[in-house]
Amino acid sequence: MPIEMAPLNPAQTDVTEESAPLQPLSTTDATEDSVPSKPSSITGNRRKSILLDTWIFESLALIFSIACFVAILGLLGAYNNEVRPEMAYKLSLNAIISILATGCKSSLALVIGEAICQLKWLHFKSENKSSLSGMQMFDAASRGPLGSLGILIHQKAKSLVCLGATVVVLLLAFDPFMQQVINYPVRQSDIPDGQAVAKQLYGVTPGTMQDWETAFGKGLWPQNNFDVSPVCSSGNCTWNEFSSIGVCNKCFNVTSSAQLNCNLGNATKWSNQTCEITLPDNAGIGYNFSVTMQHHFAGGFIGPPSNGSGNALEFPPAIVWIAEDWIAGDSDDLEKFSIGGITAPLAVFAYAELFPSPQVPLTAPLSNRISATNVTICAHTICLRDYHISIENGQASIQIVNVDFGIRTFDYPNKLVHWTPNNKSKVDFAVDEDQRGFPTHGPTNRFLVMASQRFFPVEQYPNVFKINPTNHQWDTDWGYNTDPINDRIREIGFTSLMSDVAASFTQMGLENSNHTLNGTARTSKVFVSVQWYWVILPACLVVVGTIFFIGTTILSRNANMPLWKSSALAPFYHGLEESEGNEFQSSSIMETAAEREDVQLRYSEANGRLMLQRG
């Protein structure tokens, strides 16, 4: 008589907790047990019952997973944009986040796996019979992403299990995403006791004549820039934007409107003439200079020997003069003089380049033979500037963002000269020239003019230009005198030179100033920067996993389905109601047969138990 393996019957177990070994049943035994069995009198272990017959363990695991994720968010929020912490036992923030992420992921995977196993039994308890291979498919899905991917392909998102399978597959990206959450940029951090001091000027201090001459000379022949570097103890400092008084320069090219007036007279005789360069209206006074016409004989005193005689002009090739020397300390006409938007500047310098005109008759007027090729005026004035200052890695950055030229006025009864910024909100920077270092009746421009005259003795350096007797053209290579100041002007330009002089005056004032402005000393530190977008996927997995678990518990309760979950004993006690003997001895045969077999979980008419019944 053939022997078959039947599902385990509670009647075949001992009343003790230890299970008896499985015994083969004959077909006669099965017939005798065809009557529905009565409820089992076996009493299970209460502790095991709580863990296996309820969702308490899975609920605690889910709570633990959520708690780990909330702890991760709390740590990220607490340390975001803060200095990287130094923790006990040399633990790093990354290590703690990794531990919490592992706990969160592992607990969530456990809960999802148990829920998928429970859905397996709900799948076979449905009204429609299903392929027995689904048993293997659900088990594989509960074990890992490969099985979950298979059930997604098979189910095609038609059941709740696909939601859990999706979570299992995406859990592969949980750890990589969490590792990308924290970044450690190097930023500047304030040093509470650091030193950061910048000079600030509230008034232009003229000092002595020697001070101004020194500053003027530095402007003409600078050794470096004119920035007064602030003090920074850490090599990295910042200051809020602040204002400071200084001397500014503004230049204008007036070549087209300037005029050269002179007349040589009889060019066949030796002659000395005075020529005048006049400036446009309201640009300052002009300048008179001497021109000498000399009749040159071969071997004469001027220049190298020459085989022939002719005429030569002697005049300065470049002239620098004070176009406006305004303030005498008692003038009430300050506000009437304005040049290029600057009202009553400290001083106006003018520069003219003179050059002989080519191919002109000897009898032509001198003004036709000499032309002013470049006439420029530059105004020096008190100004208020806004500064952006910072020091990074020991390198100072000083930027000027706004310039306020202000206005100078004269208080006639008190005979005081005042400078006031146009921006009335910065009236604290108003300069009373007689009380901010300016001597009474001898304001700053007097020092400035006297200092400039020492460096611009232009009349001492006239040049000689010979007229070639053959073609009446000027030979400028002969008799050309050199002057260091003129060479310097030609090298960098008059505008640049005047800007350097003004900057040197400002530097002098800042170096002598007692006013300082405190900034913030900073140092480089490693900060924690959270890239929150990397948290989105892990957060979604926790939320979707929670929804999937809750949905599974609700479906299981509504279907009155016992909580078998991933129990390996359920197939033994609730397996196929009828056996096929030893026909399926290998796993491959069982897989093939399972694909052809449609089963349904129903109560057996023979013994009253839930059994997998064939179609």
Please report, for the chain, the start and end positions of each structural domain, with discontinuous segments joined by +: 49-183+529-573, 209-522
Half-sphere exposure of 613 (CA within 13 A, CB side): 18
Angle made by CA atoms 133, 139, 142, in degrees to the nearest 5:
145
pLDDT tens for 561-598 read 888 887 776 776 666 655 555 555 444 555 566 666 67
pLDDT at 439: 33
Is 499:214 a contact under the CB 8 Å cutoff? Answer: no
pLDDT at 610: 75
C-alpha distances in Å from residue 522, one per residue of 188, 193, 362, 393, 426? 6, 10, 73, 10, 29
Long-range contacts of 224-227 (CB under 8 A, 24+ apart): 225/503, 226/500, 226/503, 226/504, 226/506, 226/507, 227/396, 227/398, 227/507
Amino acid, res. 530: V
Q: 175 in helix, strand or coil?
A: helix
pLDDT at 291: 77
Amino acid, res. 280: P
pLDDT tens for 247-270 read 899 999 999 899 888 765 555 555
Which regions of the chain are under pLDDT 50?
A: 1-41, 297-308, 327-330, 434-447, 457-480, 585-587
pLDDT at 449: 52
Angle made by CA atoms 607, 611, 615, in degrees to the nearest 5:
115
Model pTM? 0.57
pLDDT at 86: 87
Residues 6+ apart with CB under 8 A from 224: none
Residue 244 and residue 423: Cα distance in Å, rounded? 13
Angle made by CA atoms 208, 502, 337, in degrees to the nearest 5:
95
pLDDT tens for 28-45 read 343 333 334 444 445 556
E-strand stretches of 297-442: 310-315, 318-324, 338-339, 342-343, 347-356, 370-392, 395-404, 407-411, 416-420, 431-432
pLDDT at 331: 55
Quickly list DSSP for 252-304: EE-TTT-EEE-----TTS-EEEEEEEEPPTTS---EEEEEEEEEE-TT-SSSS
Helices 93-124 and 536-558: crossing angle, nearest 10°?
Answer: 30
Tokens representing 209 are 């004549």
